[in-house]
Structures are given as structure tokens and as C-alpha cells.
Amino acid sequence: MRAAPLVEAGTFEPETRERPTPGPSEVLVEVSDVGICGSDVHWYEHGRMGDRAVEEPLVLGHESAGTVVEVGAAVDDHAVGDAVTIEPGVPCGECEHCRRGAYNLCPAVEFMATPGTDGAFREYVAWPAEYVYGLPASVSAREGALCEPISVGVHAVRRAGVGMGDSVLVMGAGPIGLLAADVARAAGAADVAVVDVVDSKLDRALNRGADLAIDSRETDVAAAVRDEFGAGVDAAIEATGAPPAIEAVLDAPGPDGTAVLVGLAPDAEVPVDTFELVRRQVDVRGSYRFANTYPTAISLIASGDVDAAGIVDFELSLDRIGDAFGRAAEPDVVKGMISMG
Ligand SMILES: NC(=O)c1ccc[n+]([C@@H]2O[C@H](COP(=O)([O-])OP(=O)(O)OC[C@H]3O[C@@H](n4cnc5c(N)ncnc54)[C@H](O)[C@@H]3O)[C@@H](O)[C@H]2O)c1
Ligand SMILES: C[C@@H](O)[C@H](N)C(=O)O
């Protein structure tokens, strides 16, 4: 099979590998569509993420879908020919977090496209059937692959406790922000405001149904929030990782509101006005990856509540993976994808 591992920062070395054989509880998926995530671009540009480095060739890509072509002997809920999406993290199933259902916090999780666990920029993936989900005919493989970033949005919206009639501020109109905005609306939000610093992304947020798009280069977000929502929003979701944006998100909720931090800012220091957070009794919550979200993500696409296809700017074939990563890093691109065909 064809695979395109990253061998060092900036270099993919496409190669031919042996097609994997699924274990008894696994299925073999012929991959058709894979999204390029910001974390893939980070690995590509830097060859490392924090203290983890690419020391062996690493296949990137963890937003994937395709067709089942083989099933292990113990698998009875998938059949050859099923259209499926693959959840990229396989937790241990035994630790305290796994046992209480919060398997996104499993310290032993094997997550695609991190050192030791190859991702999906390859023709075939053998994966535990438990983390492979059937797609209805109304959901394309391209959309199915995007169940992964939708899952990040579903988890964030659940963490935010968004309910009917709520006002929600989403910071960032990248894939996570745009999809989280759709999910918040589906959860019942009456008002959704999206903030970004790129014109085309603000336009895209409005075209997808945001009630308000705030350009934080020109507008003070706190003032805009007070103008529009009085004391503040019910929930604010941070999906940029930019320190000023994190500050604004902590400032956006009104009394008893919630701020959910999704964006990653590994080395940043962010000033926090704890007095204000206490006075307004704001819940500040982290949101890490996702757990038990794939069925919800699939039904949100099928119902039309989440426009997954609408975030995609381009799809290139695997042999153009270097070009695709170059384009994916451009500021006005929301989502690039690789097609394996
Ligand atoms: N917690 C998790 O499990 C998890 C999962 C996936 C992604 N992430 C993180 O979430 C964040 C969003 O992911 P993404 O893939 O959408 O990233 P992205 O970089 O594609 O999108 C971020 C958006 O924020 C905008 N932005 C940058 N600075 C801003 C500012 N000061 N004010 C307003 N907008 C600003 C950018 O223009 C861009 O549209 C990233 O930090 C990513 O690492 C976290
Ligand atoms: C959750 C996933 O999308 C994220 N990029 C991660 O690696 O954690």
C-alpha cells in the first residue's frame, strides 16, 4: 500500500508498505479521505510537539474515513463494504478515567499521528472495530472524516453546558470554532457570535449562520459582548490558543456563565482577573479531545445541523501531500484534505 510518512520537519517520504492484517477485534479500512489538522501542520513544520519529536517516520492524519475491506474474526458489527469513519484515539479501557467514561483523559491512549502510532495518510488502516463507526448513505466520506473536529466541538459544547436559548461566543473561525458554532446552535443556542482576525473567516462564519461576527483587530470584544449581550454571554468557547483571545473569553461570560478553553497555548502566559471571575461566578473549564462523541457527530452531519463539507477549501491526492500542507498553512484556509484515490 502507499503511505506518506513524515521523516523530518518539512519532509514527507512517500513509500510502499505492506498492507496491514487486522487482528481478531479489528477491521481493515481502505482510507478514502483524510483531513489535515493544525496539529499535523505543526508536526510537519517543526518535527516535534512539545517534548515529543519525530524520531522514526511518522504517518500523520487523524481525521479519516473510508470503507471496510476486511473484518477480524471476533467482529460482528461491521461488514466488508461498510462506509465508516475512524475515531483516532484508542484508550486503555482499564484506567480510572476509562472506567468512568472519560477516556479522552486516558494517559495510555494511543492517538493516531503521534509518535508510536501511525495516522491515516496511507491506503489502509487496521483499527479496533470499537472505534470505527458506520456512516449512513447521506454522509459522504469527506464529511465522515470531519467527525473528528466536530467531536472536538461536541465535547466543548457539552463542557460549556450550552442549552436552549443560550448566548454563545466562539473565539476563532478555524475548523474547531466554525464547527463548535454549528454544534452550539444545534444544542439550542439562540445567539451565536464568532470572533476572528481574518476577513474571509468572519464572512464564512456569517454565511454559516452566525448572528454576529466580531473582528478583534478592530473591535474590543468585551465592549462588543456587553453591547450585544448586556452582562455577558452564557458560554464562551476559546478556539484559537492566542493569549489575547483567551483573555477575552475569560471576560465574556456573564454571571454564572461558563468559559471553555479548547485552544492550546503551550508556552503562553495569560493574565487572569480572578476577582472578576469570582465576582461573576464564572466556571472556567478545559476541554480536551473528546469521548463518546462520534455517533452524535455523525447524526449532526446527517441532520444538516453541522455543515462539515462547507469548511473544506480543497482536497488534493496523496502524491501532492507536500503541496497540500503548504496550502493548509495559509491564513485564509480553514480545512484542507487529502484524498487517497
Ligand atoms: N483541546 C483540544 O482537544 C483541541 C483539539 C483540536 C484543536 N485544539 C486547538 O484549538 C485551537 C483551534 O484549532 P483550529 O484547528 O480551529 O485552529 P486554526 O489555527 O485553524 O484556527 C484558529 C483561528 O483563530 C483565529 N485567531 C488567531 N488569533 C486570534 C485572535 N487573537 N482573536 C481571534 N481569532 C484569532 C485564526 O485566524 C483562525 O481562524 C488550536 O489552538 C488547536 O491547537 C485543541
Ligand atoms: C484532538 C486532536 O484533534 C488534536 N489535534 C490532538 O492531537 O489532540
- CA distances 122 to 17, 34, 59, 248, 339, Å, are 9, 9, 7, 40, 10
Ligand 2 and 117: CB distance under 6 A: no
Give me the pLDDT at residue 241, please: 97
Sequential DSSP letters for 76-108: -S--TT-EEEE--EE--S-SHHHHTT-GGG-TT
Q: Say if CB 268 and CB 290 are below 8 A apart.
A: no
Ligand 1 and 258: CB distance under 6 A: no
> How many CA atoms does the CB half-sphere of 158 hold within 13 Å?
16
Ligand 2 and 335: CB distance under 6 A: no
| Domains of the chain as residue ranges with CATH | 2-146+308-339 (3.90.180.10), 153-286 (3.40.50.720)
Tell how far the Cα of 267 is from the centroid of ligand 1, in angstroms: 15
All 3 cell numbers of residue 147? Answer: 467527525
Tell how far the Cα of 179 is from the centroid of ligand 1, in angstroms: 12
Give me the pLDDT at residue 267, please: 86
Residue 81's identity, in one-letter code, is: G
CA angle 262, 233, 230 (to 5 degrees): 150
Ligand 1 and 88: CB distance under 6 A: no
Rama region for 81: left / alpha / beta (φ>0; ψ in -120 to 50; rest): left
pLDDT tens-place string over residues 87-132: 999 999 999 999 999 999 999 999 999 999 999 999 999 999 999 9
Ligand nearest to the CA of 264: 1
Give me the pLDDT at residue 64, please: 98
pLDDT under 50 in the chain at which residues? none
- Rounded Cα distance, 331 and 319, in Å: 23
Strand, coil or helix: 307 = coil
Give me the pLDDT at residue 341, please: 79
Ligand 2 and 155: CB distance under 6 A: no
Tell how far the Cα of 324 is from the centroid of ligand 1, in angstroms: 19
Give me the pLDDT at residue 239, please: 98
Residue 23 has φ and ψ, to the nearest 5°, of -75, 175
Q: What is the pTM of this model?
A: 0.98
Tell how far the Cα of 175 is from the centroid of ligand 2, in angstroms: 12
Tell how far the Cα of 242 is from the centroid of ligand 1, in angstroms: 8
Residue 83's identity, in one-letter code, is: A
All 3 cell numbers of residue 258? Answer: 461558563
Ligand 2 and 289: CB distance under 6 A: yes
pLDDT tens-place string over residues 172-220: 999 999 999 999 999 999 999 999 999 999 999 999 999 999 999 999 9
Site to probe by mutation for ligand 1, drawn from 152, 157, 176 as the one with most ligand atoms within 8 Å of Cβ, is 176
User: Which residue has its alpha carbon closest to ligand 1 atom 42?
Assistant: 263
Strand, coil or helix: 167 = strand
Atom index in ligand 2 nearest the CA of residue 39 equals 5
ipTM exceeding 0.95, yes/no: yes
Tell how far the Cα of 340 is from the centroid of ligand 2, in angstroms: 21
